[in-house]
Amino acid sequence: MGMTMSQKILAAHAGLAEVRAGQLIEASLDLVLGNDITTPVAIRVMEGFKSDRVFDRDKIALVMDHFIPNKDIKSAENCKCCRDFAASHEITNYFDVGKMGIEHALLPEAGLTVAGDLIIGADSHTCTYGALGAFSTGVGSTDMAAGMATGKAWFKVPEAIRFNIVGKKQKYVSGKDLILHIIGMIGVDGALYRSMEFTGEGLKELNIDDRLTIANMAIEAGGKNGIFPVDDMTVEYMKAHGNRPYKVYEADEDAEYAGEYTIDLSTLRPTVSYPHLPSNTRTIDESVRDNIRIDQAVIGSCTNGRISDLRAAAEIMKGHYVADGVRCIVIPGTQQIYLQALEEGLIKTFVEAGAVVSTPTCGPCLGGYMGILAAGERCISTTNRNFVGRMGHVDSEVYLASPAVAASSAVKGYIADPMEVA
Amino acid sequence: MEAKGRVFKYGDNVDTDVIIPARYLAIQDKKELARHCMEDIDTEFVKKVSAGDIMVAGRNFGCGSSREHAPIVIKEAGVSCVIAETFARIFFRNAINIGLPIIECREASQGISAEDEVRIDFDSGIIEDLTTGRSYQGTPFPAFMQEIINSGGLVNYINKEGNK
């Protein structure tokens, strides 16, 4: 019996010719990631180890992105804890204000995540790097600490669900709409403990930014990882963003899947997740009928803060103005994306439209700062979670959508179809 | 080893944002953090919980953010075990790694009510509802995980492995 793409990467890193679903393995890691929320907890866990050495200072990435530039004294102390640790252990890939970006936008851009890698990160959206053909998954701080100390982690080999993507997408349909559609179809635990493997001729319709968005939200279906095959687009992206050697793994033809779905992109509509679960999806046509007034629009995050996302939002907003009573917050994912957006005139478009543009930060996505909601307020957001209280007060509401839908909604003042504005 | 206590009952998809909201994540002191456990879905929890109490929930408990603060605050609040139909995978790992006992059992998740008195035997995986007299068989851990739990969490496990 053959192996899935995820199983092949796990087997190779465990030094085994073959692994089976359900098997417990110990595997060597190519990268261990943490941020300013999870790393301080991991550093305290490491104090319990007999040795405080790290396994490889080049294979650890610490990204200050959640509460920086620091929002208060406690977050400043957490960042200082990470900064001191990075300095004393001479961590190569430490990213602070001025160099940082939102971790899952930053690391692929910096060439630190490539095809064939095995990556863990103390952040649930670590599954993003599957877009490039890596096996990457989120863990907690204790696993991160163990990974930093030993370069290894234990895994239970997952089964996989295969998503066969076919057809061509309509205008204003993006990777975000596809992944929201899938989560709506299978539920927030539809891929629990499993890999989500994407295949099919329709993948050529999805650029790397789309794929990063899709893999990023695998966790919102309960998935252990999301993964894409490596094609010309992937190779071109990796070559443009670094020189680390990569390795291409392919699923065996006789690999077994726990489930299979075929999705025709041509049937997809822009999709919106209503409060309070990402699986609570509607098409934009239903949302328009529901006439949902908004108070805020957030465009950014590790899900949708990349250059394609900003281009999509700017294309809609150009020549328009954010509706009265709406606050529109745009957050480029990294310094590089910020600069590129400046050069392309996108930042000018946003500011002229009455939006604010922030330095990269996770900020509002998790209700940290930079756009917290009051009781009764409603936000359309390109982020990844709409749980109770996620962006502020427990009586506030978050609707998840693509950058094009968030931008058109900001202009209209209610959840709007991009076709209404463009 | 066993746990015995009164039940706090929750539904499906209890996410780590409601277990411990992000607005408190900069707090490093565990006791201070634990004062906000479950705050966004159950403001009574921290007022009523006593040492040894048990949480019973539905599917996908602990979904969302990977924050280890979630199992930490539940343990720090005094909860001796979480029973659920299923756990989100990162929460599952984190609970084992920090030594918070958890058990998957669909029948117990559905059959046990809030306020029931429940006893759990971790070695056998048997869950007894002392209020109703019913008992359930939970899923025992694979040997590898049992070893981590018996070591008192991943830190001690790794220290022990280093001695080999």
pLDDT in tens, chain A (422 residues): 899 999 999 999 999 999 999 998 999 999 999 999 999 999 999 999 888 899 999 999 999 999 999 999 999 999 999 999 999 999 999 999 999 999 999 999 999 999 999 999 999 999 999 999 999 999 999 999 999 999 999 999 999 999 999 999 999 999 999 999 999 999 999 999 999 999 999 999 999 999 999 999 999 999 999 999 999 999 999 999 999 999 999 999 999 999 999 999 999 999 999 999 999 999 999 999 999 999 999 999 999 999 999 999 999 999 999 999 999 999 999 999 999 999 999 999 999 999 999 999 999 999 999 999 999 999 999 999 999 999 999 999 999 999 999 999 999 999 999 999 97
Predicted local confidence at residue A33, as pLDDT:
98
A364 and A228 in one domain?
Answer: no
Q: Pick from A263, A289, A313: which residue ends a domain?
A: A263
How crowded is residue A57: how many other Cβ atoms within 10 Å of its Cβ? 15
B-contacting residues in A 148-177 (Cβ below 8 Å): 149-150, 154
Rounded-to-integer distance, Cα B27 and Cα B35, Å: 11
- Beta-carbon separation of A222 and B153 below 8 A: no
Number of structural domains found in chain A: 2
Residue of B nearest to A393 (CA): B40
A199 and A60 in one domain?
Answer: yes
A187 and A287 in one domain?
Answer: no
Q: Which residues contact A339 (CB under 8 A, 6 or more apart)?
A: none
Domains within chain B, CATH numbers bracketed: 2-163 (3.20.19.10)
- Rounded to two decimals, the ipTM of the complex is 0.93
A243 and A97 in one domain?
Answer: yes
Q: What is the mean pLDDT of residues B141-159?
A: 79
End-to-end CA distance of chain A: 51
> How far does B53 lie from chain A, in Å, by closest CA?
24
Predicted local confidence at residue B155, as pLDDT:
86
Identity of the residue in B40, B63, B90 whose CB atom sits nearest the CB atom of A140: B90
The pLDDT tens digits of the residues spanning B41-73 come to 999 999 999 999 999 999 999 999 999 999 999
- Two tokens, residue A110: 């910096």
Rounded-to-integer distance, Cα A66 and Cα A40, Å: 13
> How far does B4 lie from chain A, in Å, by closest CA?
27
- Two tokens, residue A228: 């894409």
A275 and A179 in one domain?
Answer: no
Q: Pick from A263, A283, A301: which residue ends a domain?
A: A263
A336 and A197 in one domain?
Answer: no
A25 and A159 in one domain?
Answer: yes
- Beta-carbon separation of B60 and A192 below 8 A: yes
Is the minimum CB–CB distance between A366 and chain B shorter than 8 Å? yes
A240 and A125 in one domain?
Answer: yes
Rounded-to-integer distance, Cα A195 and Cα A379, Å: 31
Phi, psi of A199 (to 5 degrees): -140, 180
A276 and A169 in one domain?
Answer: no
Cα separation values, A316 from A105, A142, A348, A420, Å: 23, 44, 13, 10
Phi, psi of A395 (to 5 degrees): -100, 20
A320 and A258 in one domain?
Answer: no
Predicted local confidence at residue B162, as pLDDT:
61
CATH number of the domain enclosing A348 = 3.30.499.10
Q: Pick from A202, A236, A263: which residue ends a domain?
A: A263
- Two tokens, residue A202: 């329709």
Half-sphere exposure of A127 (CA within 13 A, CB side): 33
- Helix runs in A254-393, H state only: 284-290, 301-304, 307-317, 335-343, 346-352
**Among A150, A260, A143, which residue's Cα sits nearest to residue A195?**
A260
| Residue A294 belongs to domain spanning | 270-421
A316 and A243 in one domain?
Answer: no
A147 and A257 in one domain?
Answer: yes
